[in-house]
Structure 1
Amino acid sequence: MAAHRRWGKDEVALHWAAMCMASKPGLYWHMLPELAQGRKAIWDAVNPHTGRKRIDEAFARHLRTSTRDADMKLTFANGSVWQVVGSDSYDRLVGASPLGVVFSEWALAKPDAWTYMRPILAENGGWALFLWTPRGRNHAVRAFESRSRDGDWFTLKAPATETSVFTPDQLAQEKADLIAECGSQAEGRARFNSEYMVAFDSPAPGAYYGEALEAAQAEGRITSVPYDPTLKVDTAWDLGIDDYTAIWFFQTAGREVRVIDYFETSGEGLQAIVRQAIAGKPYVYGRHYLPHDVRVRELGAEGRSRLETLSGLGLAPIEVGTAAGPEERIAAARAMIPMAWFDEAACAAGLERLRAYRKRWNTGTYSFSGPLHDQASHGADAFGEYALNRRLVRAVRPVRVMERGPLDWMG
């Protein structure tokens, strides 16, 4: 269910869970992205129209045998248990077998939580309910679009213009207020379109590159950009250890930057990454741009740095970037995007990362403060690495297409 703010998503889910518990006793979870959010948004929440706690409206007190505030857990006379949990610690829930799980604020949650839950629910015949408001084109949008074509799933998209929660005058005022509060037309519109219009392609609130990528889309620069064998391919990396590794593939023709491919993986070693992402593609390579910390020696790799490891795997020539802050990478990327053409198909995942790369929201000051480190930041950092460290003007000359080089031994 993708619906606008104040539609009543969580309220519907609470009453749905109460009904299911009465007909099929078992364990039911209401899952927020973070456990602390669950207490504020669900456990302690009060209905402003009635003055009663939300959980008391949904779950009658006389049917309960216990109410545990510390665990945010309700136990019922028929054996059912309902609990507020967080997707940020889903791995701590190992061993439980819920019959129903509500994923609230799904667009902000860890998608791995669903990966963990789905076999449990499939085995016991349970259900999952996803409640969300868009935050850019991320896992929530992909799942919604896929499930809308699957007859086994119910999907609902409810923008504010199709419900009776807000009047047209109220919506116009909300939009004007958001523009004023955010300090820019682009940011205010993005937030309004996400929060109220349920616009899947609207930039995530606080997105760094939302406006620039919207312009690229409107100007037809996100299209088919085939590999040109007369131009060398530069790569730019963000290296994760236990996290994501992201690689962009660029060709430069004069001032025109052609973004022809994107690769991303997690949990893979450098040898596997080079085999898949570099040797496995039919490109003639130029420079490989790597972040400055690639020189750091790793304790678990016989004291070798990742630079030494990659050089030993045949990656050359390597350009090690400067130790710049995120603000410099972001500024460089913003300056480069107007010159860039993106292959829509090959760079789909990377474009999703760029659209989702956003500022961190500080709940204490109610303001944005610095980049949010999440799945989007790896692809965005790699893109910024290239934008910051590439040569602004590069000669364009034909190159001879060579046979496979020193990476052949890896298969």
Structure 2
Amino acid sequence: MKVEVQLPPKLIPVFTGSARYRGAYGGRGSAKTRSFAKMAAIHAHRCAQAGKEGIILCVREFMNSLDDSSMAEIKAAIRSEEWLEAHFEIGDTFIRTKCRRVEFIFVGLSRHLDSIKSKARILLCWADEADPITETAWEKLVPTVREDNSEIWVTWNPEIEDSATDLRFRKNPPPDARIVELNFADNPWFPKVLEAERLNDKERRPDSYEHIWGGAYKTHFEGAYFTTHLTAAREQNRITTVPEDPHMVIHLFADIGGTGAKADNFVFWAAQFIGLTIKCVNHYEVQGQPIGSHLDWLRTQGYAPGRVKIWLPHDGDTQEKVIDTSYRKSFEDALYDVEVVPNQGKGAAMQRVEKVREHFSRIWIDEAKCAGGLKAIAAYHEKRDEKRKIGLGPNHDGNSHSADAFGLMCSVYQEPKAAAPLDLSRLMKGVA
């Protein structure tokens, strides 16, 4: 039986021919989720018709219950196609083909990543709302989808430019991948109710409009700690070209990562304290590199011993597992002046946030050399429990490394003390 399946035209080549990976990224209203839900059901039907047995695995990074899964979208997609609905059994907690050969399974990776290894015969894995999925999760997930001709589908709204999903499937896609950008303008059935919302967002929320509707990376984060401070800095032209003063000490504030593919990022913010001003003149961030790489960067920037002081967080005295030495000792062995800042104790992350807010009005940032750091502190935001409507403190993600080093800088800074006024009466007595 031949049937006509309606898809946005840009998705037709995505689902034409064989491919290991298929996907789409972009803003709201593009019909990507509904389209992929429909095609996942069609894929299940085709597999069942071919006599294959297995599961369609639908994953998201965060899923506390089926209400947080793609189940509702898949049910709606099946019921929208009369011919397709005839081939499925749908219940409150299940979707499966009537022949019982293929069923849908829904999993939240943040809680059940390791359990996926035990899932048998994954015919298709669809990762929806995939932007927060970590590289560790992808490393474990991809090899479990190993049936002959099995596929992995990915749909996401871009948020962080260097998210693991964006790097893996957008910037460096696998060879056998069909992945496109899809936005509201690519949806021939874009509804009038969403058009009204889009125009409202364009007028009232210009800072987030391109992210919501145009698929741009997120630059305005709900709960972001420093949005108003960065806005003021731009309005006052404090985010600009900030030259180094060759006669002043360069202070390097670090957030410590580690060596290896799964290590956290290592960061340096380079700053100079000149009077009442904090000048951020450089920024460095790498992932998984040994201490020797950081020393090489210092040399390339002209940051020789005697010219700089390195400030490390409290774990600067901890032995680095791979090279069996501490960061303090490594930098001191290279003749650098090093100071380790003591542990600030419980609530240290929020203490750093408050110090940044306290000192932001005196901060100047070099826009070009500190571009990566600027993105990170702009995106650094509060993690929230939406059900209880409470904040859970700073969200530890790819932005927190640069934000923590920036906070260390503001915690260390001390406003210079004014010189005591001259006691003229004592001077006059001395003359007499």
TM (norm. structure 1) is 0.68
How much has 1:193 moved relative to structure 2? Answer: 6.3
How much has 1:15 moved relative to structure 2? Answer: 0.4
Aligned to 1:317: 338
How much has 1:371 moved relative to structure 2? Answer: 1.1
CA RMSD of aligned residues (A): 4.8
Aligned to 2:284: 262
Aligned to 2:250: 233
Cα distance change of structure 1 residues 116 and 85 upon mapping to structure 2, 3 Å threshold:
same
Cα distance change of structure 1 residues 141 and 310 upon mapping to structure 2, 3 Å threshold:
same
Instruction: From 79, 84, 95, give the equivalent of 2:106.
Output: 84
Instruction: From 18, 30, 41, give the equivalent of 2:58.
Output: 30
CA contact (8 A) 1:286 1:317 kept: no
Aligned to 1:400: none
Corresponding pairs, count: 373
Q: Which range moves more in the overlay, 351-360 or 279-288?
A: 279-288
Instruction: From 103, 115, 128, give the equivalent of 1:104.
Output: 128
- Quick check: which has more Rg, 1 or 2? 2
Aligned to 2:391: 368
Query: Any idea what SS the aligned residue of 1:36 has?
Result: coil
Instruction: From 241, 245, 267, give the equivalent of 1:246.
Output: 267
- Please give the residue correspondences for 1:335-350 in structure 2 after superposition, counting only pairs within 5 Å: 335-350=358-373
Whether 1:42 and 2:69 are equivalent positions in the alignment is yes
Instruction: From 223, 227, 230, give the equivalent of 1:206.
Output: 223
Q: State the AA in 1 paired with 2:40.
A: A
CA contact (8 A) 2:131 2:156 kept: yes
Instruction: From 8, 11, 17, give the equivalent of 2:40.
Output: 17
CA contact (8 A) 1:247 1:262 kept: yes
- Please give the residue correspondences for 1:137-152 in structure 2 after superposition, counting only pairs within 5 Å: 137-139=161-163, 146=171
Q: State the AA in 2 paired with 1:41.
A: D
Cα distance change of structure 1 residues 215 and 12 upon mapping to structure 2, 3 Å threshold:
farther
Aligned to 1:166: 193
Deviations 1:301-324 (A, max 9, x none): 999866456545644232525616
Q: In 2, distance between residues paired with 1:355 and 1:130?
A: 27
Q: In 2, distance between residues paired with 1:371 and 1:365?
A: 17
Q: In 2, distance between residues paired with 1:167 and 1:201?
A: 20
CA contact (8 A) 2:328 2:340 kept: no
Q: State the AA in 1 paired with 2:62.
A: E
How much has 1:381 moved relative to structure 2? Answer: 0.8
Q: Which range moves more in the overlay, 284-293 or 309-318?
A: 309-318
CA contact (8 A) 2:223 2:381 kept: yes
Whether 1:359 and 2:382 are equivalent positions in the alignment is yes
Give % identity. Answer: 20
CA contact (8 A) 2:89 2:95 kept: no
Query: Any idea what SS the aligned residue of 1:153 has?
Result: strand
Aligned to 2:314: 292
Q: In 1, distance between residues paired with 2:58 and 2:310?
A: 46
CA contact (8 A) 2:59 2:69 kept: no
Gaps of 5+ in 1: 180-187, 395-411
Cα distance change of structure 1 residues 99 and 240 upon mapping to structure 2, 3 Å threshold:
same
Cα distance change of structure 1 residues 302 and 278 upon mapping to structure 2, 3 Å threshold:
closer
TM (norm. structure 2) is 0.66
Cα distance change of structure 1 residues 299 and 227 upon mapping to structure 2, 3 Å threshold:
closer
Q: State the AA in 2 paired with 1:108.
A: P
CA contact (8 A) 1:141 1:200 kept: no
Q: In 1, distance between residues paired with 2:92 and 2:388?
A: 31
How much has 1:91 moved relative to structure 2? Answer: 5.1
Q: In 2, distance between residues paired with 1:35 and 1:63?
A: 27
Aligned to 1:385: 408
Q: In 1, distance between residues paired with 2:282 and 2:399?
A: 19
Q: State the AA in 2 paired with 1:382.
A: A
